């Protein structure tokens, strides 16, 4: 039996993440490190999925990814997008 290590690809712009979402590269990479065990066990292949996770800075991030498998390359997880989750609006009765 041949075991392939999961490869992660990041086809997103670190500059854009920082400028548009305020996510610094270190925060992004630390957040993905937290998500790694979950993503490696994920069963959805080929479709774009998303999950939310709390970053080391305490912010809720939504990460969009796609997981694929081929006999030549093994498992590949592409991180397609990341964004700071917008807080839910709460209403209070007067």
Between residues 6 and 90, which one has the greater pLDDT?
A: 6
Residue 93 has what pLDDT? 58
Q: Is the pLDDT of residue 72 over 60?
A: yes
For 63, the token pair is 């990460």
Query: What digits encode the pLDDT tens for the residues 39-68?
Result: 888 888 889 999 999 999 999 999 999 999
Q: Is the CA virtual torsion 44, 56, 5, 8 positive or negative?
A: positive
Rg over CA atoms, the chain: 16
What is the band of 1 on the pLDDT scale with cuts at 50, 70, 90? very low
Q: Rounded distance, CA 64 to CA 82, Å?
A: 6
């Amino acid at each position: 039996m041949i075991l392939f290590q999961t490869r992660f690809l990041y086809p997103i712009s670190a500059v854009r993440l920082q400028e548009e979402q305020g996510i610094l590269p270190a925060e992004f990479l630390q957040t993905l490190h937290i998500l790694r065990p979950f993503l490696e066990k994920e069963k959805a292949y080929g479709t774009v999925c998303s999950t939310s996770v709390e970053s080391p800075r305490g912010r809720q991030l939504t990460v969009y990814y796609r997981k694929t498998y081929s006999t030549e390359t093994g498992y590949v997880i592409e991180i397609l997008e990341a964004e700071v989750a917008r807080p839910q609006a709460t209403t209070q009765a007067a």
